[in-house]
A = this chain, B = another copy of it.
Amino acid sequence: MARTPEAFKKNQDIDAYVRHEVTEIDLSDRRVRVENLDTGKEWWEPFDQLMVATGAVALRPPIENIDAEGIYGITTLKSGMIFKGVVDREKPRRGVVIGGGYIGLEMAEAMLMRGMEVSLVEMAPEVMGTLDPDIGAIVSQSLIDHKVDLYREEALTGIEVKNGKVTAVITENRVLPADIVVLGTGVRPNSDLAKAAGIPVGVRDGIIVNERQQTEIEGVWSAGDCVQTHHLISKKPFYVALGTVANKQGMVAGINIGGDDAVFPGAIGTAITKFMETEISRTGLSQKEIEDLGWEFITGKVKTRNKPGYYPGAAEITVKIHAEKGSGKLLGGQIVGKQESGKRIDTIATCLHAGFTVEQMVFLDLSYAPPFSPVWDPVAVAARKAVKEI
């Protein structure tokens, strides 16, 4: 009845049910309803400990024809392979991307690399809404430089279809002919099943877990894109759908379910992506997130080079950091730059974990040699600028 993949069989006494779906969680009798997707057979499977790791689902704008042929959401390896297959086979000429976030930008790049004409529609004033608008503007410009037809502050209003297949994307201002459409409109926790069972959910319906990844129900655990996560800077729960956080949470849940004791302290929203040669990264709180908390803050921003100007390959980098007014305690940072810029966000992320002030950041003993960095690392220069604003 249960099909056990080889990887599980080899080392563990695990029944791994593939092509099966849990259709209901029964908390009072501590059992789940399982359906075999091939045979349709259903049964109740009892549990002592239950791990809910249902991940996220792509958000689809509530628009007619959004499920038409030729419209793709990219959320799983499989959905990416399907998309690639269609592009290879049908050789679409015009691709339209809805949404300028991580997935939108990566898919725009992928289509450009295959010689397609790419349009991108973004509701906000700039792409990359997790960045401050002035930093997002640098990314928007990079899209324009690479001949993406970028339409900002335009909402998707309709989809034109012929024989069930998309032919155009309609926005408030225009009709964009489309051979293929990518939805980069974000995800939400796939928590419907848990919610229906009575497992409490919080921010954006993310399952509420404690620092041991236990839900509010004894013996029921959850981790990853289906839970809400503790934000170490805002000290509030937030929703983040990233592999880094999911991985750590999964490890912690596994340790605890196994009877040992582990704690996931929380996350700070560190993320990185690239569009062509432009690297984009962020951590902690953005300007808007700080404003929403009602905190007073200062900012240090520098546009410089990531290596000494005389060194071959020195490239533009912009670093922006926010800190608490008065104390100077770091709240967040953003980086946009060319090659070898993005990963520097890890220094800012580590400073956030440490609770450093911008003054402490100035005196970090960071690495320098001309092939790698100016003698004052751009991160420290941004901190020096912020110090002046305290």
Show the binding face of A for B, using Cβ within 8 Å: 102, 232, 242-245, 247-248, 264-265, 267-274, 279, 281, 283, 340, 342-347, 349-354, 356, 360, 362-369, 371-373, 375-377, 379
Contacts and interface: CB of A to CB of B under 8 A. Distances in A.
Contacts of A372: 272, 274, 279, 342-343
Contact of A365 (B102, B267, B356, B363): B267
A365 B245 contact: yes
B265 A368 contact: no
Nearest to A371: B274
A343 B340 contact: yes
Nearest to A354: B354
Nearest to A379: B346
A337 to B, nearest CB: 13
A283 B365 contact: yes
A248 B343 contact: no
5 contacts: A279-B372, A281-B367, A346-B379, A350-B354, A350-B364
Contact of A354 (B269, B271, B344, B356): B356
A350 B271 CA distance: 18
Copies of this protein, total: 2
Given A244-B375, A368-B244, A368-B272, A346 B349 contact: no
Given A274-B371, A342-B372, A343-B372, A364 B349 contact: yes
From A102, A232, A363, A377, residue with most partner B Cβ within 10 Å? A363
Nearest to A339: B340
Nearest to A274: B371
Given A272-B372, A375-B244, A375-B247, A365 B353 contact: yes
Contacts of A363: 248, 264-265
B375 A346 contact: no
A272 B377 CA distance: 13
Given A272-B369, A343-B344, A368-B244, A353 B354 contact: yes
Contacts of A362: 248
Nearest 5 A/B pairs, CB to CB: A354-B354, A272-B367, A350-B350, A270-B365, A268-B365
